[in-house]
A = this chain, B = another copy of it.
Amino acid sequence: THNYTAYPMIRQAREMVAKGMLGDIRIVQSEYPQDWLTEDLAATGQKQASWRSDPKQAGAGGALGDIGTHAYNLARFVSGLELDSLSADLDAFVPGRQLDDNVNVMLRFKPVGNKHPAKGMIWASQVAPGHENGLKLRIYGSKGGLEWVQADPNYLWYTPFGQPKQLLTRAGAGAMAVAARVSRVPSGHPEGYLEGFANIYQEAARAIRAARRKGGKPAKDVIFPTIADGVEGMAFIEACVKSSKKNGAWTKL
């Protein structure tokens, strides 16, 4: 599931964008490098590696499907932008590997109003030594920029243009209500990966409870991945594979 969308500082980043604190969004840089498939792990029979690198089990995407979709989903979730088209260049660097282990993508988003449409890039890789789960999102607008790193999820770097960079912390000064409502422990004490999942399940539970009430809808701030997100992830994979086969032709989602 898209657990990354439930980290408190990701919720805050989304809110800051939605509130216009970054101005018009211009640039979205999302990446998810790993290194665990730098060598031919599947050849050794390692289970996690084997099914992921087998097209019959993993589908058309390797790194693309496994982590590229997370990089894409997070970019969409925080920016609120819709993708127009993409140009992708997929590679399998390890000899004999059938699915991609490195993914370079350029993004063109749909314009918002009469503004110049935002652009972006996605890099996903399983052959980048030094990266464990290096999901990182950077978003820049006409009024400010944000940076967030999954391995250090309690921090959100925020630069209002023309002012010093600020280190926003979960539950700390500058944390907003949308972050607080999915946050458990005091600032300075780290939350992690499991809390993200817990938040997703909690949000889903809230929605279910609401649905059971006659005509019930969950509160507006209840957010969780839906079937639509899953479908869009599949469309993203498909578009990348198609574009890459056509030598990077710009491909609609």
Contacts and interface: CB of A to CB of B under 8 A. Distances in A.
B87 A116 contact: no
A147 B164 CA distance: 15
Number of copies: 4
A128 B144 CA distance: 8
A247 interface: yes
Interface stretch (A75-83, A131-139, A227-235): A131-139
Nearest to A101: B26
A248 B89 CA distance: 12
Indicate the size class of the contact surface on chain A: 35 or more
Interface stretch (A50-58, A182-190, A215-223): A182-190
Contacts of A39: 142, 161
Contacts of A141: 129
A35 B161 contact: yes
A143 B130 CA distance: 10
A250 interface: yes
B102 A131 contact: no
